[in-house]
Structure 1
Amino acid sequence: MTLPMLSRRRRSDRSNFNFGTVVNWTRQDFVDRYSGSVLGLAWVLIWPLVQVTIFTLIFSQIMGARLPGNSDTYAYSVYLVAGVVPWTAFANTISRVTTVFLDKKHILSKVRLSMPLLASYIVLSEAVTFAVTMAVFLMYLIAFGHPLGAGILFVPLIFVLQQVLAFSIGLICACLIVFIRDVKEIVGIVLQLWFWFTPIVYVADIVPEGIRGWLELNPSMLFIESYHQIFVHGGMPVLDDMVTLAVTGGVLLAASLLMLRALERDIRDFL
């Protein structure tokens, strides 16, 4: 096979992996996740329904948890769900993108795919799960008569910005894990600590003054607080936080793509 033919074949391999392929991989991701189960893809709806039901009913009615400064019976449950749902998508995206090259090495070794595009199906998969869970959450809020403000229109934008950040962090870790397999365990530990360093199950006001300043350096605060503003207080996201989140995500995305471009040949060799 001549060099021009090889070049055309490589371009063809890359062009075959387009957005349609990402959609198909996303669909297959859900099929594989629930393969062998009787209810199949129905679990995509069942799991969010169970999760939101536990948070809204168990914490508010049985445990009697209350949000400080708010007399609404369901205020703490709303606060909790508004933080847990986006955090779950954020953390899952980081952890799954981190291992995507190792998980798909049998494909990468046979077909010359665009590696960033390969990892992007995880973002779409988590977006579908987030959308279904949020739809269930909104149904509960409407059923409970919880007020919803115009800020809810910004939820898709906030989600996109947080996922750009998550994808970028995951892609950097995906490059490193090929050479240092301990990265997977490190990411797991960091995400656990990161969760508890973010006001999701508690409010920031209860944090000691000496530590509260460090919370401002937590990038997840930029989107978690916006979700709380929208769903708990019926307000709008903080514009400065959204700008900071967009800039941070954009810089990290550029850095991750440059890193992958520089290491791609070595990554493929190691895989």
Structure 2
Amino acid sequence: MRALLCEVKAAVSAHALVWVLTQRELAARHSGTAAGVVWPYLQPLLTVAAFYLVFDIVFAMRLGEGAPTHAVGTYLIVGALPWMAFCDAVSRGMGSLLDAGGLLQKNPLPAVLFTARAVLASALIYGPLLALVAVAYAPLHGFAPAVLSMVPLLALQLVLCLLMGYLLAILAAALRDTVQLVGFLLSVGIYLSPILFPITLFPERWRWVLWLNPMTGLVQGYQQVLLQGAWPSAGVWWATIAWIALAAVLLNVAVSRSRDQLVDWL
């Protein structure tokens, strides 16, 4: 894991530059919009508000037995918002090196800085929104102490996005088809997770397929905390840690093999 550790040290050493780059990234996302800095937050908020309005208010749809809550819109929001955060961070991280190709060819900056910039910018948008949802859902579970586990869950999601975003950024630099393939997987990934339906509704013999989605464990963790006021189960932690470990190993290999060629690919 020596190559990956070197990348981590480079990012930590240049943390001031990463922060400046992240601020510029955030500014670029709302540049030229009438809503200004509110716009990046307004888009996901309007989406989850639509879930609540359509499914809970207009149609008053209800989930069956075995679901952590019976209100469909309330259930969807808990899984959909973290999924949107994951997709935004991973997709922007994947394109970060391609976007910074000209700059990397002229300046000997660590490539990891640009992926960190993209992922951290997404975290600064969706992190406060997830915290807001945690506060809004507190009455459902009576302000249970388990809500404190949102902090490690969000931290693990950030680490997972950083690792996967950088890995995919390197792969996208080497093979442009990566962008189209990952875009397709992200578009169908929501159906292979317990976001749109409780995991108990999925055929038992095929439930292992859901665990091929790196967000399945985290989504279940958010559901257990926000909908039931329970501490995340051991399976949530182990599944997420396993995905992080796998991403770290693959990223270490990718960094090692691309060190001398990455700028040429860009």
TM-aligned CA distance change 1:16 to 1:233, over 3 Å: closer
Unaligned runs of 5+ in 2: 1-9
Distance 2:176 2:147 in 1: 40
Q: Counterpart of 1:85?
A: 81
Within 5 Å, which residues of 2 pair with 1:98-109? 98-109=94-105
Residue 32 of structure 2 aligns with an amino acid whose one-letter code is: G
Residue 80 of structure 1 aligns with an amino acid whose one-letter code is: L
- CA displacement 1:174-208 (0-9 Å, x = unmatched): 22222211111000111122221111011122222
Q: Counterpart of 2:22?
A: 26
TM-score, normalised with respect to structure 2: 0.86
Residue 59 of structure 2 aligns with an amino acid whose one-letter code is: M
Q: Is the 8 A contact 1:60 1:73 kept in 2?
A: no
Q: Counterpart of 2:174?
A: 179
Larger Rg: 1
Cα RMSD of the aligned pairs, angstroms, is: 2.5
Residue 265 of structure 1 aligns with an amino acid whose one-letter code is: D
Unaligned runs of 5+ in 1: 1-13
Q: Is the 8 A contact 1:44 1:132 kept in 2?
A: no
Residue 38 of structure 2 aligns with an amino acid whose one-letter code is: A
Find the residue that maps to 1:77 and give its secondary structure: helix
Q: Is the 8 A contact 2:60 2:71 kept in 1?
A: no
Offset at residue 209 of structure 1 (A): 3.1
Residue 252 of structure 1 aligns with an amino acid whose one-letter code is: A
Q: Is the 8 A contact 1:164 1:253 kept in 2?
A: no
TM-aligned CA distance change 1:75 to 1:16, over 3 Å: closer
Q: Is the 8 A contact 1:109 1:268 kept in 2?
A: yes
Find the residue that maps to 1:146 and give its secondary structure: helix
Find the residue that maps to 1:228 and give its secondary structure: helix
Offset at residue 15 of structure 1 (A): 8.9
Is structure 2 residue 117 aligned with structure 1 residue 134?
no
Q: Percent identity?
A: 25
Residue 110 of structure 1 aligns with an amino acid whose one-letter code is: K
Distance 1:74 1:139 in 2: 20
Q: Counterpart of 1:7?
A: none
Q: Counterpart of 1:59?
A: 55
Q: Counterpart of 2:217?
A: 222
Is structure 2 residue 255 aligned with structure 1 residue 260?
yes
Q: Is the 8 A contact 1:155 1:227 kept in 2?
A: yes
Within 5 Å, which residues of 2 pair with 1:200-211? 200-211=195-206
Q: Is the 8 A contact 2:18 2:116 kept in 1?
A: yes
Distance 2:61 2:82 in 1: 21
Instruction: Report the number of matched residues.
Output: 256
- Structure 1 stretches (4+) deviating beyond 6 angstroms? 14-17, 70-74
Q: Counterpart of 2:184?
A: 189
Distance 1:237 1:15 in 2: 31
Distance 1:210 1:16 in 2: 44
The match for 2:146 among 116, 126, 151 is 151
Q: Counterpart of 1:6?
A: none
Distance 1:249 1:215 in 2: 16
Q: Is the 8 A contact 2:146 2:230 kept in 1?
A: yes
TM-aligned CA distance change 1:160 to 1:54, over 3 Å: same
Is structure 2 residue 121 aligned with structure 1 residue 125?
yes
Offset at residue 101 of structure 1 (A): 0.8
Q: Is the 8 A contact 2:85 2:123 kept in 1?
A: yes
Find the residue that maps to 2:241 and give its secondary structure: helix
TM-aligned CA distance change 1:264 to 1:229, over 3 Å: same
Q: Counterpart of 1:239?
A: 234
